[in-house]
Every structure is written in C-alpha cells, then in structure tokens.
A and B are shown apart, each in its own frame.
Chain A
Amino acid sequence: KAGVTQTPRYLIKTRGQQVTLSCSPISGHRSVSWYQQTPGQGLQFLFEYFSETQRNKGNFPGRFSGRQFSNSRSEMNVSTLELGDSALYLCASQVGPTNTGELFFGEGSRLTVL
C-alpha cells in the first residue's frame, strides 16, 4: 500500500515568486492536512481538508492557500514568497476527520526561498 506522496521533494524559488506543492494521500484516506516545519517555530498547522472542504485553518497569512480535489489529492499554494517561507512543508492524511484517527505523513517538500 503506497504511503503519502509529496511532490516536488525539493525546490528553490526567489522572493516574490509563487509555488504549488502537491500531496497524494494514502488510498482511501479522505482527510489531508498541511504543516510547516522550521527550526525556530517547529511544526505549525496550516490547514486541513476533508471531502474537498476546508475544515480548519491555522494562523498563516492569506498568501497560503490550498485545495482538495475529488480524488482526495491536495495542493497548497504560496504566493509572493518571502525568505521566511523557507521550510519543510509536510502533508498528512487519514481516513476520516482529523480528530478521530492516526495521521500518516509524507516525506515533505523542502522549499528554499532566495
């Protein structure tokens, strides 16, 4: 059974550009959540989708957005990149809504903003 797949694994952008990250959950999982990990702030919740609907959102500016498709795959987008957006972006999936079961994480997408 394939795990959570995130693409791309590594990418380098410059300030002002935008980036789109993709996450394919484990087959049968309908909930996808996104997290930002930095050395200073640790892991912070970005947003969560269940059945194509955003159920929850963390405390990030509007430059961070996401969506989920009918096949449960999810994308997140960051516009007008800033140096501080450099981080490891992790996606997690689970079968149902996030308060019910075990979360499974992907390997992450490491974004470097120059």
Chain B
Amino acid sequence: KQEVTQIPAALSVPEGENLVLNCSFTDSAIYNLQWFRQDPGKGLTSLLLIQSSQREQTSGRLNASLDKSSGRSTLYIAASQPGDSATYLCAVHGSNYKLTFGKGTLLTVNP
C-alpha cells in the first residue's frame, strides 16, 4: 500500500526566503507525482506534474524534483511571498491507478 509523507507539517518563514518542502513515498512504482496548493476552504490548484521518467520540473519561482529510486520529491520555492501562504500537497499516481496524497505542509510566509 502506497504511503506518502510530507515533512515538515508546518513551516513559517520571513518573506524573501528560499524554502524546500519534502515529500516521500514508499512504493517507487509510480506513474507520476503532482504538487498542489490549497487555500483555506478551497479546492486544489495544480502547481507541477512530474512524470516518472523526469527528474525535475520548473514553473516560475517553483522547482520540483523527483528521485523515484529513493522515493523522494522536493518542492523548492524561491524568494517566498506572503501570497505563497497555503497548504502544499504532494500526490503520487501509483501502479494501481490510485492517487495517494500526503497530509500536506502548511506554509506561512510572514511580511
């Protein structure tokens, strides 16, 4: 059974800081991994999708990496802004066609 863990559960940083969010998964037989953000009471917004054959994806100030063999992914946020405050979730598409989510990292960026 696939298990996805996100560390840390919560993170508070000053504006402008670069930060890294971590995601680990137990079964390396995955199709892809997707990072989302969720604002309070809202749905999920897709940030980056990494296919299993890829090592990283970049979008603006965001960079996500994937090391399938070690079961790890990181989301790097450069020059953080208060508007980046949200819960960040990673989700893994496993070989059983199911999407498994981590519990998320609650990020607060202080002005």
Which of A's residues lie within 8 Å of B, judged by CB?
Answer: 4, 6, 33, 35, 42-45, 48, 55-56, 58, 90, 92, 97-108, 110
A-chain residues with CB within 8 Å of residue B32 when the two chains form the complex: 99-100
Contact A102 B49 (CB under 8 A): yes
Which label, helix, strand, loop or mixed, suits the secondary structure of the B interface? strand
Known contacts A43-B89, A105-B45, A107-B42; is-contact A100 B31 (Cβ 8 Å): yes
B-chain residues with CB within 8 Å of residue A42 when the two chains form the complex: 101-104
Which label, helix, strand, loop or mixed, suits the secondary structure of the A interface? strand
Known contacts A42-B104, A98-B93; is-contact A103 B43 (Cβ 8 Å): no
Contact B99 A45 (CB under 8 A): yes
Known contacts A42-B102, A102-B34; is-contact A107 B43 (Cβ 8 Å): yes
- Which of A33, A101, A107 meets B49, CB within 8 Å? A101
Residue of B nearest to A110 (CB): B41
Residue of A nearest to B36 (CB): A105
B-chain residues with CB within 8 Å of residue A97 when the two chains form the complex: 97
Q: B69 an interface residue at 8 Å Cβ cutoff?
A: no
B74-111 residues with Cβ-Cβ distance < 8 A to A are 89, 91, 93, 96-104
Residue of B nearest to A48 (CB): B97
B-chain residues with CB within 8 Å of residue A99 when the two chains form the complex: 31-32, 93, 97
Report the Cα distance A57→B46, complex, angstroms: 23
